[in-house]
């Protein structure tokens, strides 16, 4: 667990930020972190957080905030002793303490003559800063001393970095870094002295003295003071041209032509390490990615600090391949235009890295030139940034990924926002908006930076609302090249390099809202000329991403690229694509609806889960066009069982009801199937009257014009709803009809569903033995057909019967088997319902604590999908809770519930495996 206070407060566990709540809980945590390893009295915390006049409720509020922090971070993260509290965090877990240790290490290394090691330590320490220190409590009195101390130490680290650069002879970088510090703090004499030394050693003595006179004027005008003795002595030494000011010999350090970045480099530590490792192992590495992915900045940061010569060739303005070799010659300091032979002679045998930036428009020419250079210069390594690889032997590609939207992208937004809106403080609510904004922008660094620039005039929510406008993201900065002035311009630069078929396919693929495979691309976006060749070009051009862990291979387009591509479609072209996409989505859903009732159910559940974005897009397009409403209704009906199994209750009901409203004149079979889906989802939600009304309407429509399977399914669920409503006699009669209709269809899966409903009605009618016999038939029919869900559901009901009959061990066996089977299928709602029953069986067999843990997990996991077994089964489920709670004292019950609520599904699975081993 890492506590980050050098910027907005974050607590990171396993790479993910932990939600901490509002401003006051965050302030409490910061107040504790300012006293590492020590207990802080409650009175002191109250004074820190509320000031001299705390409200009467401050004590209770503090306890509430501490409880929230324990829930978020773990019970042992905040400890209590003798009226005080402390955070259980070592110095290595707090970024501010790591920063201090890094600065101390850098100082010691420089004092010991290890300037390179000192530089690495100083830069690593400075990278820990994500914004102003203690940003969440910037206005609070208790934090001012620590803010001032850390801010000053940051200045010390910046000065230390420049001192290391000067010691290493990296004069140009030292000048750039010290100029940046002086621009922000023009009265800081130490930084001005470093700037003067750097300028002097760079052969710019007049500028060095001008920097001195500027500082002297500022001090006199603003403070009425003269420069300090050190600065005056330095100016005098420069006027005398003292030998001790001379730079280190040129051969003492490598030449690095990569300029320092204009602003802080954010969130790429892993990528930096991976690129440097590739460059160590391979002689040609190409960073690929769409415009705005951050290829150039990553490449430059990877080259900065390398212990070899680094040469830089900016190729963005080179359009003619004939100018390529002269451009590379300039990178090696050759004033006379020359070719590969001249470059090889200048480079010699020494190790050198050549950074070629923005080479996509020259890939054909570059491929030949780079191949010849690598052959003639044995010590050469080439790092290329390009939207397309060279595709030559020995090349290693590195696709530059987007920034994680919820963490590094937000950090980048906040960092760039501080430059344009220095008075803006991002509270928890706005931080959630910023995270959503970064998600919409796919975490593309350029897009995030352009969005942050809009804070000059707009709030984050306003920026988010305007993202569909292609003109919304435009940089106001004057030092940005045209390609990066807008997101549209960055994508334009790539789009211009496509040929006709690639442009056409790029536009057509915009119809896919999520990942797609080659078959889908051919079916929906293809034409007579084929898809594979232009698709390959789009992948190598970084406009389409191939997902490497899928077989068959799947592809996706970033949302920002998809929006750009869609704008290239004509209205007729867009409408035609949407019809083809709807037809493809409908065929997939229809096949899945059948597959979910067979042995491949797990594969189909995962297929539909992965394709939810496309299903939603197809439904939205269908419901927007009256001519497509019938197809939309069929699609919703085919997805209803997936929504049921996956716990997508609210979403499923929304789509089904909208589709029914949009297609009032659709075929009876289609409307009956959709209404059956509504009935099933209403049943899960615990709304039995609405479920009964929907299934009644479905049955009437199915009798009027539905197919045999539609009619049988409606009859099956009508039977179940009658039993749940207490109408056992009517249910038995309806069950006879449902059984006959299901048997006539010849589908064992349907017969299994009918038998489950009949078993429930038989049980509700007071015949548990008869119900058990029917449910055993259901298990057999479900197993025979491969419809594992029905077999598991029948076992769940058999376990209920066993508990009622006083056979808890049998209930435990059946429920455990059903839970394992449903988990294997990736089922959600059935798994939750059966786990709820299993908790009761555990309590009845002497393990109520384990049962309470399971109840807590079911409540938490069910809450995420809007499902609660108590609502679905108001007759039996409350008794399961009572069976567990009555066997534990309240404190133990509450603790076990809390433990379960912290579990994800994998943790529940491990918990149940452990119980099985123990039991």
Residue 806, both tokens: 């006083």
Band of residue 250 on the pLDDT scale cut at 50, 70, 90: very low
The three-class DSSP label of residue 457 is coil
Residue/partner pairs of 598-607 with CB below 8 Å, 24 or more apart: 598/749, 598/785, 598/786, 598/787, 599/786, 599/788, 601/645, 601/787, 601/788, 601/789, 601/825, 602/824, 602/825, 602/826, 604/642, 605/642, 605/645, 605/646, 605/825, 605/826, 605/827, 606/826
> HEC string of 265-298?
CCCCHHHHHHHHHHHHHCCEEEEECCCCCCHHHH
Sheet hosting strand 545-547, strand order edge to edge: 516-517, 554-556, 545-547
Q: Identify the pLDDT of residue 140.
A: 82
Query: What was the pLDDT predicted at 849?
Result: 93
Q: How many CB atoms lie within 10 A of CB 460?
A: 24
One domain for residues 603 and 734: yes
Q: Would residue 455 count as lying in a domain?
A: yes
- Same domain for 720 and 634: yes
Top pLDDT among 624 and 345 is at 624
Q: How many CB atoms lie within 10 A of CB 485?
A: 18
Residue 458 resides in a domain: yes
Give the CATH number for residue 46. 1.10.10.10
Average confidence (pLDDT) over 641-664: 93
Residue holding tokens 């349907």? 750
633 and 763 share a domain?
yes
What's the pLDDT score for residue 847? 92
Buried/exposed code over 301-315 (b: 16+ C-beta within 10 A; e: otherwise): bbbbbbeebbbbbeb
Domain boundary among 399, 417, 444: 399
Q: What is the pLDDT of residues 848-868, one digit of tens each?
A: 999 999 999 999 998 888 788
For residue 433, being part of any structural domain is answered with yes
- Helices 748-764 and 768-785 pack at an angle, to 10 degrees, of 170
Stretch 426-446: mean pLDDT, rounded? 86
Residue 264 within a domain: no
CATH number at residue 550: 1.10.10
Report whether pLDDT(251) > 60. Answer: no
Tell me the sheet residues that pair with 384. 286, 356
Q: 192 and 313 share a domain?
A: no
Cis before 552 (ω within 30): yes
Q: Are residues 907 and 875 in the same domain?
A: yes
pLDDT at 252: 43
483: pLDDT strictly greater than 70: no
The answer to whether residues 461 and 360 belong to one domain is no
User: pLDDT band at residue 485, thresholds of 50, 70 and 90?
Assistant: low
Geometric angle at alpha carbon 419, from 186 and 299, rounded to 5°: 100
User: What is the per-residue pLDDT across 358-399, written as a single tens digit (0 to 9) for each?
Assistant: 888 888 889 999 999 998 888 899 999 998 898 888 999 999
Global pTM reads 0.65
Residues 6+ apart with CB under 8 A from 606: 826
Which of the given ranges, 230-239, 532-541, 714-723, has the highest pLDDT on average?
A: 714-723
Domain end position, chosen among 458, 490, 522: 490
Are residues 160 and 46 both part of a single domain?
Answer: yes
**Are 391 and 326 part of one and the same domain?**
yes
More confident residue, 483 or 386: 386
- Residue-level pLDDT at 917: 60
Residue tagged 């406009």 (tokens) = 543
SS3 state at 403: coil
Residue 470 has pLDDT above 60, yes or no: no
> Residue 279: which of 260, 265, 254, 298 has the closest Cα?
298
Tokens 């006293």, residue located: 35
- The most confident of the ranges 428-432, 499-503, 699-703 is 699-703
Section 59-86 average pLDDT = 80
Q: Tell me: pLDDT of 581 over 60.
A: yes
Residues 664 and 782 in one domain: yes
- Determine the straight-line distance between the first and last CA of the chain, rounded to whole angstroms: 34
Residue 890: CA count within 13 A, CB half-sphere: 0
Distance CA 596, CA 604 (A): 6
Give the span between the Cα atoms of 564 and 787, in whole angstroms: 44
Q: Which domain holds residue 471?
A: 408-490
Per-residue model confidence (pLDDT) at position 497: 81
Residue 578 lies in a domain: no
Residue 289 backbone zone (phi > 0: left; psi -120 to 50: alpha; other: beta): left
Task: Please identify, among 490, 507, 527, the residue that sits at the C-terminal boundary of a domain.
Answer: 490
In contact, 706 and 671? CB cutoff 8 Å: no
Instruction: Kindly state the greatest CA–CA separation across the chain.
Output: 112
- For residue 692, the model assigns a pLDDT of 93
Q: What is the pLDDT of residue 703?
A: 95
Assess contact for 269 and 127: CB atoms under 8 A.
Answer: yes
Q: Is the pLDDT of residue 213 over 60?
A: yes
C-alpha angle 807/812/818, rounded to 5°? 125
- CATH at residue 290: 3.40.50.300
Tokens (6 digits) for 53? 């006049």
Q: Is residue 241 part of a domain?
A: no
The per-residue pLDDT for 249 is 47
Q: Looking at residues 212-224, what average pLDDT do you find?
A: 87
Calpha distance 387→758 (Å, rounded) = 62
Q: Which residues contact 236 (CB under 8 A, 6 or more apart)?
A: none
Residues 6 or more apart in contact with residue 822 via CB below 8 angstroms = 789, 792, 830, 831, 834
- The highest-confidence range among 130-139, 152-161, 308-317, by mean pLDDT, is 152-161
Report the pLDDT value the prediction gives residue 481, as an integer from 0 to 100: 59
What is the CATH classification number for the domain harbouring 714?
1.25.40.10
Q: 417 pLDDT band (50/70/90 cuts)? A: confident
Give the confidence band of 799 by pLDDT, cuts at 50, 70, 90.
very high
Confidence of residue 245 (pLDDT cuts 50, 70, 90): confident
% of the chain residues with pLDDT over 90: 34
Are residues 448 and 421 part of one domain? yes
Measured from the Cβ of residue 743, the count of other Cβ atoms closer than 10 Å reads: 14
Are 385 and 426 members of one domain? Answer: no
Report residue 611 as tokens.
Answer: 């394709």
The tens digit of pLDDT for each residue in 668-698 reads: 999 999 999 999 999 988 889 999 999 999 9
Mapped onto helix, strand or coil, the DSSP state of residue 89 is: coil
Lowest model confidence (mean pLDDT) among 475-489, 506-520, 552-566, 901-915: 475-489
Cβ pair 571, 579 in contact under 8 A:
no
Domain contains 679? yes
Tell me 424's DSSP state: -
The mean per-residue pLDDT over the stretch 804-826 comes to 91
**Nearest-angstrom CA–CA distance, 205 and 245:** 11
pLDDT band for position 469 (cuts 50, 70, 90): low
Q: Does residue 240 sit within a domain?
A: no
On the CB side of 626, CA atoms within 13 Å amount to: 2
Task: Choose between 15 and 817: higher pLDDT.
Answer: 817
Beta bridge partners of 256: 310
User: What does the alpha-carbon distance between residue 20 and residue 68 come to, in Å, rounded to a whole number?
Assistant: 8
Q: Where does the pLDDT of residue 114 fall: very low under 50, low under 70, confident under 90, or very high at 90 and above? A: confident
Choice between 406 and 828, residue whose per-residue pLDDT is larger = 828
Is residue 654 pLDDT above 80, yes or no? yes
Contacts of 623 (CB under 8 A, 6+ apart): 629, 632, 658, 659, 662
What are the tens digits of pLDDT across the range 269-285? 888 889 988 998 899 99
**Structural domains in the chain (count):** 7
Residues 711-717 have a mean pLDDT of 95
> How far are the Cα atoms of 217, 845, 884 from residue 893, in angstroms, in the given order?
73, 17, 8
β-pairing, 309-314 vs 352-357, is parallel
β-pair partners for 11: 3
- Listed in sequence order, the residues at least 6 apart from 817 whose beta carbon sits closer than 8 Å to its beta carbon are 792, 795
> What is the tens place of the pLDDT at every residue in 163-208?
898 888 888 888 888 888 888 888 888 889 988 988 888 878 888 8
State the pLDDT confidence band at 335, using cuts at 50, 70 and 90. Answer: low
712 Cβ contact partners less than 8 Å away, ≥ 6 residues apart: 738, 741, 742, 744, 745, 750, 754
Q: Is the pLDDT of residue 90 over 80?
A: no
Percentage of the chain modeled with pLDDT above 70: 96
11 and 147 fall within a common domain: yes
């Amino acid at each position: 667990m890492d506590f980050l206070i050098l910027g907005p407060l974050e607590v990171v566990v396993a790479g993910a930020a932990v939600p901490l709540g509002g401003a006051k809980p965050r302030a409490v945590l910061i107040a504790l972190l300012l006293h590492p390893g020590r207990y802080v009295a409650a009175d002191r915390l109250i004074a820190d957080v509320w000031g001299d006049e705390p409200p009467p409720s401050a004590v209770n509020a503090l306890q509430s905030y501490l409880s929230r922090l324990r829930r978020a971070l773990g019970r042992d993260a905040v400890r209590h002793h003798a009226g005080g509290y402390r955070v259980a965090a070592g110095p290595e877990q707090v970024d501010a303490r790591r920063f201090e240790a890094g600065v101390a290490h850098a100082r010691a290394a420089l004092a010991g003559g290890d300037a390179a090691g000192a530089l690495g330590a100083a830069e690593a320490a400075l990278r820990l800063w994500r914004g102003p220190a203690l940003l969440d409590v910037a206005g609070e009195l208790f934090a001012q001393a620590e803010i001032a101390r850390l801010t000053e130490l940051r200045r010390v680290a910046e000065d230390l970095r420049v001192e290391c650069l000067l010691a290493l002879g990296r004069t140009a970088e030292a000048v750039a870094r010290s100029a940046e510090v002086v621009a922000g703090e023009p009265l800081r004499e130490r930084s001005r002295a470093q700037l003067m030394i750097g300028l002097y050693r760079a052969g710019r003595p007049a500028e060095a003295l001008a920097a001195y006179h500027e500082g002297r004027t500022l001090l006199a005008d603003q403070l009425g003071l003269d420069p300090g003795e050190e600065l005056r002595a330095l100016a005098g030494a420069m006027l005398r041209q003292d030998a001790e000011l001379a730079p280190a010999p040129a051969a003492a350090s490598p030449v690095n032509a990569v300029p320092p970045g204009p602003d802080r480099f954010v969130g790429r530590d892993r990528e930096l390490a991976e690129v440097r490792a590739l460059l160590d192992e391979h002689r040609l590495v190409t960073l690929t990615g769409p415009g705005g992915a951050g290829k150039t900045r990553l490449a430059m940061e990877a080259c900065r600090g390398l212990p070899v010569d680094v040469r830089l060739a900016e190729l963005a303005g080179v359009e003619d391949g004939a100018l390529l070799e002269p451009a590379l010659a300039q990178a090696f300091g050759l004033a006379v235009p020359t070719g590969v032979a001249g470059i090889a002679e200048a480079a010699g045998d020494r190790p050198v890295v050549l950074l070629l930036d923005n080479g996509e428009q020259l890939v054909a020419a570059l491929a030949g030139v780079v191949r010849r250079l690598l052959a003639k210069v044995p010590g050469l390594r080439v790092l290329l940034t390009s939207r397309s690889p060279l595709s030559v032997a020995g090349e290693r590609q590195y696709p530059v990924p987007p920034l994680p939207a919820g963490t590094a992208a937000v950090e980048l937004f906040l960092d760039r926002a501080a430059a344009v809106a220095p008075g803006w403080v991002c509270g928890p609510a706005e931080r959630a908006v910023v995270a959503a904004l970064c998600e919409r922008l796919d975490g593309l660094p350029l897009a995030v930076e352009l969005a942050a620039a809009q804070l000059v005039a707009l709030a984050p929510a306003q920026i988010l609302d305007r993202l569909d406008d292609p003109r919304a993201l435009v940089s106001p900065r004057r030092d940005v090249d045209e390609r990066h002035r807008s997101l549209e311009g960055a994508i334009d630069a790539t789009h211009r390099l496509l040929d006709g078929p690639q442009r056409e396919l790029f536009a057509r693929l915009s119809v896919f809202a999520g990942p797609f495979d080659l078959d889908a691309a051919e079916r929906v976006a293809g034409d007579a000329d084929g898809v594979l060749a232009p698709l390959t070009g789009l992948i190598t051009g970084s406009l389409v991403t191939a997902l490497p862990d899928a077989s068959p291979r799947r592809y996706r387009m970033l949302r920002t690229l998809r929006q750009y591509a869609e704008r290239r479609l004509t209205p007729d072209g867009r409408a035609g694509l949407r019809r083809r996409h709807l037809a493809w989505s409908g065929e997939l859903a229809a096949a899945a609806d059948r597959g979910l009732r067979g042995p491949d159910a797990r594969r189909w559940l995962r297929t539909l889960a992965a394709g939810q974005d496309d299903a939603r897009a197809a439904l939205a397009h269908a419901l927007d066009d009256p001519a497509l409403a019938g197809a939309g209704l069929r699609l919703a009906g085919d997805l209803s069982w997936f929504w049921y199994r996956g716990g997508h209750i609210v979403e499923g009901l929304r789509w089904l009801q909208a589709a029914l409203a949009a297609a009032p004149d659709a075929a009876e079979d289609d409307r009956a199937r959709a209404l059956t889906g509504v009935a099933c989802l209403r049943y899960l939600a615990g709304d039995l009257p609405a479920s009964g009304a929907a299934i009644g309407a479905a049955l009437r429509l199915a009798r009027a014009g539905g197919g045999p399977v539609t009619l049988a399914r409606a009859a099956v669920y009508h039977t179940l709803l009658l039993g749940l409503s207490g109408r056992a006699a009517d249910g038995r009669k309806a069950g006879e009809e449902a059984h006959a209709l299901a048997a006539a269809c010849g589908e064992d899966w349907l017969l299994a569903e009918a038998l489950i409903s009949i078993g429930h009605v038989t049980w509700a009618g007071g015949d548990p033995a008869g119900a058990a016999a029917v449910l055993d038939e259901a298990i057999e029919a479900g197993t025979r057909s491969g419809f594992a869900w029905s077999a598991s559901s029948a076992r769940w009901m058999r376990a209920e019967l066993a508990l009622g009959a006083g056979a808890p061990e049998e209930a435990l066996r059946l429920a455990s088997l059903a839970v394992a089977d449903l988990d294997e299928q990736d089922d959600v709602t059935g798994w939750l319902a059966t786990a709820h029953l299993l908790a009761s069986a555990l309590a009845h067999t002497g393990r109520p604590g384990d049962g309470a843990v399971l109840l807590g997990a079911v409540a938490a996991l069910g809450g995420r999908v809007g499902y609660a077994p108590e609502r679905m089964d108001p007759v039996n489920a409350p008794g399961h809770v009572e069976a567990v709670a009555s066997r534990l004292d309240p404190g133990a019950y509450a603790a076990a519930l809390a433990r379960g609520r912290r579990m994800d599904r994998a943790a529940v699975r491990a918990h149940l495996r452990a119980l099985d081993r123990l039991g």
